[in-house]
């Protein structure tokens, strides 16, 4: 029989290297997956992880893909540290983009520097308001926030489809389910001419810095860690668990909503039913790959963005199915959890009946 026993001592260096080891193991397992599909595993891994770093266009797109992943993962990390499991960031991302787009379309013929900040506020409010539903149900009825937040993703997706097919549909769009194209005042300024790199990248970097300060140098971050690691001690120290639940869920929803606004006002430039692309779910992998640390999430977001850019290239260049790329991304989380488990526990063989 196999038994897991806690390790008496876990070296800090081993824990720090665990995410890198998980990425390397994922490459090996992913290579076997691609080989089973009849593809060259070395060429596939090179296309996904190496080739985008040497292509100027792919490098700029890497920032575009990483920005929403990092923003959403930052918000999720606060709740995860506190033991509050928001799995519905995808729905909050959608509602944030929808709310910001509604403001842009309401002032479609009006230009001004005030419009984009107003859209950002609406996006933040939309995402936070959607996160308040599981927060209220949890503190009032002790409902499971995992199930509630996850189910609300599908509600948000259907609501988006209804809006782009109805009130927010482009009247000159030949009945296609999409909104008007936003005018310049409702689009994120471009930072690098000839690319799609926008000012949202800077906001993301500022958010990483702010999150690092709050988690390591502020009482709020201490209370979050305390609630997650020792709930009883948190209660004795006067931490209000219900209020912290609302704050953490609201914060994660707000950052997911801001990411959704950046997506519609940046790369897309209009509201489309294809807005939900899985960023909210992938951000969960980013959060854990980054060890729930803002700086770690920054690097993890870049790694995960590589799989998006390289995965799209592999689909066209090598004919790898998109489902295989999704499986490859999912493997990263499972392998990371397995590596984490083995850093904290050791496997021991015992005979039946042995105590």
Tens-digit pLDDT string for the chain (355 aa): 777 788 777 677 777 788 889 999 999 999 999 999 999 999 999 999 999 999 988 999 999 999 999 999 999 999 999 999 999 999 999 999 999 999 999 998 888 999 999 999 999 999 999 999 999 999 999 999 999 999 999 999 999 999 999 999 998 888 889 999 999 999 999 998 888 899 999 999 999 999 999 999 999 999 999 999 999 999 888 999 999 999 999 999 999 999 999 999 998 899 999 999 899 999 999 999 999 999 999 999 999 999 999 999 999 989 999 889 889 988 988 898 888 888 888 888 777 666 5
- The answer to whether residue 129 sits within a structural domain is yes
**Residues 36, 105: Cα–Cα separation, whole Å:** 48
Residue 345, judged by CB atoms within 10 A of its CB (0-12, 13-18, 19+), counts as middle
Predicted TM-score (pTM) of this structure: 0.93
- The answer to whether residue 308 sits within a structural domain is no
Total domain count for the chain? 1
- The answer to whether residue 27 sits within a structural domain is no
- The answer to whether residue 338 sits within a structural domain is no
- The answer to whether residue 22 sits within a structural domain is no
Q: Which residues form the domain of 81? A: 70-297
Beta bridge partner(s), residue 190: 198
- The answer to whether residue 9 sits within a structural domain is no
Residue 172, judged by CB atoms within 10 A of its CB (0-12, 13-18, 19+), counts as exposed
CA 104 to chain centre: 24
Torsion of CA 19, 24, 25, 26, to 10 degrees: 90
**Half-sphere exposure (CA, 13 Å, Cβ side) for 314?**
32
Q: Hey, how many other C-beta atoms are within 10 angstroms of the C-beta on 206?
A: 10
- The answer to whether residue 17 sits within a structural domain is no
CA-closest candidate to residue 207, choices 243, 156, 146, 257: 257
Decide if 349 contacts 1 (C-beta within 8 A).
Answer: yes
**Residues 232, 228: Cα–Cα separation, whole Å:** 10
Q: H or E element: which one contains 349?
A: strand 345-349
- The answer to whether residue 337 sits within a structural domain is no
């Amino acid at each position: 029989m196999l038994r897991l026993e806690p390790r008496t001592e876990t070296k800090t260096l081993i824990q720090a290297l665990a995410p890198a080891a998980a990425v390397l193991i994922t490459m090996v397992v992913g290579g076997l997956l691609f080989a089973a599909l009849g593809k060259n595993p070395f060429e596939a891994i090179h296309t996904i992880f190496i080739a985008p770093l040497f292509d100027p266009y792919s490098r700029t797109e890497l920032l575009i893909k990483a920005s929403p992943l990092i923003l959403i993962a930052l918000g999720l990390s606060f709740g995860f540290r506190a033991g509050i499991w928001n799995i519905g960031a995808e729905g909050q991302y959608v509602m944030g983009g929808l709310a910001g787009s509604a403001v842009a379309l309401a002032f479609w013929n009006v230009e001004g520097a005030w419009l984009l900040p107003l859209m950002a506020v609406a996006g933040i409010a939309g995402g936070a308001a959607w996160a308040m539903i599981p927060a209220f149900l949890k503190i009032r009825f002790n409902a499971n926030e995992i199930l509630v937040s996850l189910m609300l993703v599908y509600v948000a997706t259907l609501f988006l489809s209804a809006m782009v097919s109805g009130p927010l549909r482009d009247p000159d769009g030949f009945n296609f389910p999409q909104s008007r194209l936003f005018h310049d005042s409702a689009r994120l300024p471009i930072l690098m001419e000839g690319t799609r790199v926008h000012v949202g990248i800077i906001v993301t970097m500022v958010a990483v810095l702010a999150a690092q300060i709050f988690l390591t140098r502020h009482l709020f971050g201490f209370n979050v860690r305390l609630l997650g690691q020792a709930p009883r001690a948190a209660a004795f120290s006067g931490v209000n668990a219900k209020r912290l639940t609302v704050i953490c869920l609201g914060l994660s929803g707000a950052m997911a909503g801001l990411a959704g606004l950046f997506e519609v006002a940046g790369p897309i430039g209009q509201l489309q039913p294809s807005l939900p692309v899985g960023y909210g779910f992938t951000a969960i992998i980013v959060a854990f790959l980054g060890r729930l640390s803002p700086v770690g999430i920054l690097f993890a977001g870049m790694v995960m963005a590589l799989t998006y850019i390289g995965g799209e290239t592999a689909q066209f260049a090598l004919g790898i199915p998109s489902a295989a790329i999704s499986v490859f991304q999912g493997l990263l989380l499972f392998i990371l959890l397995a590596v984490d488990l083995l850093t904290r526990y050791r496997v021991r063989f015992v005979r039946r009946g042995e105590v």
